[in-house]
């Protein structure tokens, strides 16, 4: 008779389970929290929230945007680990202010209408980039920048497999548009800290909305 072996872990480095994990360790509504959920159902409160600890990350930075200081060391560690595999990244977007989002969004509304604006830009106060905890990463040299095909680049593949080890999660996974409100964005990573990232990885939970049971999807007054 064959014995039934337990299923092997799905990565070479086993993820230790985190018995001490607590779902209430951080707020999901406080904009300063590393677990804050900003989506099309849950704007930041206040809508014009701005972090007070913005720094310039030490990396190629296409638009010169800062990130919150709390994520800079993790970002540096992640990029150093990728560099060990010969992979380089650049930052396409980090923190974007409420005022920036107002001008970007309103310009698209003026030229193409609100429906078109909502497909390409978050409404002011609703963008995760306003938290300073989200990064749009691209390959260096550039390949498939801000395109779905980034997922198939060595950099995109590496991030998908390893970002959680540094506290980052792929925020808008493929096939989760009804839950996150956004189509697949293999370049958009969100810092949540290593505890939550490891817990989501260990439990196979792909979105913050599903993990915390928070509503998402499209705007309440879409269209
Ligand atoms: Zn993004």
Distance 213 CA to ligand 1 centre (A): 22
- Model confidence over 43-73: pLDDT tens digits? 999 999 999 999 999 999 999 999 999 999 9
Residue 42 located in a structural domain: no
Domain count, the chain: 1
Distance 85 CA to ligand 1 centre (A): 24
- Model confidence over 82-105: pLDDT tens digits? 999 999 999 999 999 999 999 999
Which residues have their alpha-adjacent CB atom under 5 A from ion ligand 1? 136, 188
177 given a catalytic annotation: no
Distance 136 CA to ligand 1 centre (A): 5
User: Exactly one of 128, 177, 185, 199 is catalytic; which is it?
Assistant: 185
pLDDT, position 12: 47
Residue 148 located in a structural domain: yes
**pTM > 0.75: yes or no:** yes
pLDDT, position 4: 47
- Model confidence over 106-157: pLDDT tens digits? 999 999 999 989 988 899 999 999 999 999 999 999 999 999 999 999 999 9
pLDDT, position 16: 52
Residue 219 located in a structural domain: no
Distance 5 CA to ligand 1 centre (A): 41
Residue 177 located in a structural domain: yes
Residue 48 located in a structural domain: no
Q: How far is CA 103 from CA 22, 31, 41, 157, 221, in A?
A: 39, 21, 21, 34, 21
Q: How far is CA 129 from CA 36, 75, 79, 83, 141, in A?
A: 12, 15, 20, 25, 24
**Is the pLDDT assigned to residue 214 strictly greater than 80?**
yes
Distance 129 CA to ligand 1 centre (A): 6
Distance 135 CA to ligand 1 centre (A): 6
Domain region containing 208:
56-96+133-212
Distance 122 CA to ligand 1 centre (A): 10
187 and 135 Cβ atoms separated by less than 8 Å: no
Greatest distance between any 2 Cα atoms in the chain? 71
200 and 167 Cβ atoms separated by less than 8 Å: no
Residue 79 is part of a domain; what is its CATH number?
A: 3.30.1380.10
pLDDT, position 174: 97
Residue 63 located in a structural domain: yes
- Model confidence over 1-49: pLDDT tens digits? 444 444 444 444 544 555 689 999 999 999 999 999 999 999 999 999 9
């Amino acid at each position: 008779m064959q014995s039934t072996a337990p299923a092997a872990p799905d990565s070479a480095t086993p993820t230790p389970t985190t018995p001490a994990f607590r779902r209430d360790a951080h707020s999901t509504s406080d904009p300063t929290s590393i677990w804050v959920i900003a989506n099309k159902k849950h704007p930041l409160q206040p809508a014009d929230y701005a972090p007070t600890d913005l720094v310039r990350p030490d990396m190629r930075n296409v638009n010169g945007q800062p990130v919150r200081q709390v994520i800079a060391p993790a970002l540096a560690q992640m990029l150093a680990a990728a560099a060990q595999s010969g992979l380089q990244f650049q930052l396409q977007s980090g923190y974007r202010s409420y005022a920036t989002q107002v001008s970007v969004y309103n310009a698209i509304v003026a030229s193409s209408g609100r429906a078109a604006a909502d497909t390409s830009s978050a409404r002011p106060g609703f963008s995760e980039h306003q938290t300073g905890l989200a990064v749009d990463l691209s390959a260096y040299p550039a390949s498939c920048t801000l395109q779905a095909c980034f997922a198939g680049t060595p950099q995109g593949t590496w991030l998908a497999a390893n970002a959680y080890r540094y506290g980052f999660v792929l925020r808008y996974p493929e096939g989760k548009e009804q839950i996150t409100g956004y189509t697949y964005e293999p370049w958009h990573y969100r810092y949540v800290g290593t505890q939550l990232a490891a817990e989501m990885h260990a439990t196979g939970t792909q979105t913050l909305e599903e993990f915390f049971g928070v509503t998402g999807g499209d705007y309440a007054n879409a269209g």
